Chains A and B, each alone.
Chain A
């Protein structure tokens, strides 16, 4: 049981380039989400999904796209990278929507540097 996995661990992009951050979970969780963590700020929700085929925006969605074609995978796409997207990105998953009863499990993170 690998839990939540993320690839790559580290990536350097040039401004304007595109890339996809991969996230997969093997716990059959319905709920998955993407966060970014920046210095001096807490983790902020980018996008989330409550099941295959269903996604919605979080707190800071601009510049990012997501899709959820399977229960296991939830990729995050940067269509045109900007220096402001330099951050550490965490993917998370949980059985249900309510954090009071359902623990979120986080992946190890992807460190992204946009030059």
Chain B
């Protein structure tokens, strides 16, 4: 049972436009959400996170929105740059336990110059 779902395997966006990556989750016990970015032949790197007590968190060009009632979160990248081309993983965790992070399947973003 995939508790964290990224239904779009890929996304193409023109440079300078907004990229919106979506993520849905089913476990209502999740209280913290993370986004990781992964380049080919590299490991995932942490990008941005959000607590369930917030509905928005911003870090430069990256903003994550959380809609708890819909069990949905999204990552907005504005403006998109070619260097943003990567696979983005959504992840979720709950209080307690060692790094019990549940990852989504990833969305491959291509930013076209």
List chain A positions with a Cβ less than 8 A from chain B: 4, 31, 33, 40-45, 48, 50, 56, 90, 92, 94, 97-100, 102-109
Residue B99 at the chain A interface, CB threshold 8 Å: yes
Between-chain CB contacts (< 8 Å), 5 pairs:
A31-B99, A33-B98, A42-B104, A45-B101, A99-B93
Least Cβ–Cβ distance between A60 and chain B, in angstroms: 13
A90 close to B43 (CB less than 8 A): yes
Using A31-B99, A56-B98 as known contacts, say yes or no to A100 and B42 having CB atoms under 8 A apart. no
A42 close to B102 (CB less than 8 A): yes
> Taking each of A40, A42, A56, A102, which has the highest tally of chain B beta carbons within 10 Å of its own beta carbon?
A42
Residue B67 at the chain A interface, CB threshold 8 Å: no
Residue B51 at the chain A interface, CB threshold 8 Å: yes
Number of B interface residues at 8 Å Cβ cutoff, please give it. Answer: 25
B43 close to A106 (CB less than 8 A): yes
Using A50-B98, A99-B93 as known contacts, say yes or no to A90 and B104 having CB atoms under 8 A apart. no
Contacts of A102 in B (CB 8 A): 99
Contacts of B102 in A (CB 8 A): 42
A94 close to B93 (CB less than 8 A): no
A99 close to B51 (CB less than 8 A): no
Using A99-B32, A103-B46, A106-B43 as known contacts, say yes or no to A48 and B99 having CB atoms under 8 A apart. yes
Chain B: CB-nearest residue to A109: B43
Residue B70 at the chain A interface, CB threshold 8 Å: no
